[in-house]
């Protein structure tokens, strides 16, 4: 018990700073989640995508918290720079192999905040090799799920949908089942 008390006496200001930082970041997280939810509902985005973007925001805040915590407990900028450059070098090599996945996730985040089409809209993707005319069934983290007129399901990567011209053919072409389990009319 004496060791425990001594620890708190030695690191009193750091622990107080950590508690304040944690409270501030929790408040920022709360505000960010509310804003994301408000933007999502205003844009007519489904709850699963809203939850996904909220998790991305939370993960970003955790990384910021870890960085500031190291500074609070006395790590010097040079020490942090060495650690981060080493970590980012390893991560960079690993991520180079999966750049397409990161590109799709980033595109999914961009599409959350700025994508004029919604689930249920009928669109045409002007791809010279494979033009697609389909109804958007779902907008996931990595791809769009498109239902063709013949009933086939096509998954289209998020990063490609932002690179190709798209035409809205019909707004709310289908009515999807409601969340409460009943079908819409």
What pLDDT, on a 0 to 100 scale, did the predictor assign at position 153? 93
User: What DSSP state is assigned to residue 178?
Assistant: P
Lateral strand order in the sheet of 122-125 = 153-157, 143-148, 132-139, 122-125, 166-170
pTM score, two decimals? 0.59
- Using only C-alpha atoms, what is the Rg of the chain? 23
For the chain, give every residue range classified as CATH 1.10.287: 2-97
* Least confident among 26-40, 69-83, 123-137: 69-83
For the chain, give every residue range classified as CATH 2.30.30.60: 116-170
What pLDDT, on a 0 to 100 scale, did the predictor assign at position 185? 41
pLDDT at 96 exceeding the cut of 90: no
> What is the CA angle 6-7-13, rounded to 5?
110
Could you tell me which residue, 92 or 65, shows the higher pLDDT?
65
What pLDDT, on a 0 to 100 scale, did the predictor assign at position 106? 85
Mean pLDDT along residues 61-89: 85
CATH code linked to domain 2-97: 1.10.287
For the domain made up of 116-170, the CATH class stated in words is: mainly beta
Task: Please provide the size of the chain in residues.
Answer: 185
Q: Which two tokens stand for residue 97?
A: 């192999």
pLDDT at 178 exceeding the cut of 60: no
Q: Which two tokens stand for residue 70?
A: 């190291």
């Amino acid at each position: 018990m004496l060791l425990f008390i001594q620890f708190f006496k030695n690191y009193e200001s750091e622990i107080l700073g950590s508690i304040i930082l944690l409270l501030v970041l929790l408040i920022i997280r709360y505000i960010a989640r509310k804003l994301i939810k408000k933007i999502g509902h205003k844009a007519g985005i489904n709850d699963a995508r809203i939850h996904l973007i909220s998790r991305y925001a939370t993960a970003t805040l955790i990384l910021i918290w870890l960085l500031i915590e190291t500074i609070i407990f006395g790590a010097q900028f040079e020490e942090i720079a060495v650690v981060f450059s080493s970590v980012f070098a390893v991560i960079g090599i690993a991520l180079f192999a999966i750049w397409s996945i990161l590109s799709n996730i980033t595109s999914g985040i961009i599409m959350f905040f700025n994508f004029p089409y919604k689930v249920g809209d009928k669109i045409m993707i002007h791809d010279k090799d494979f033009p697609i005319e389909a109804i958007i069934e779902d907008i996931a983290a990595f791809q769009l799920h498109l239902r063709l007129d013949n009933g086939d399901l096509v998954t289209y990567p998020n990063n490609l949908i932002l690179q190709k011209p798209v035409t809205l053919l019909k707004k709310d072409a289908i009515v999807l089942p409601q969340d409460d389990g009943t079908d819409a009319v």
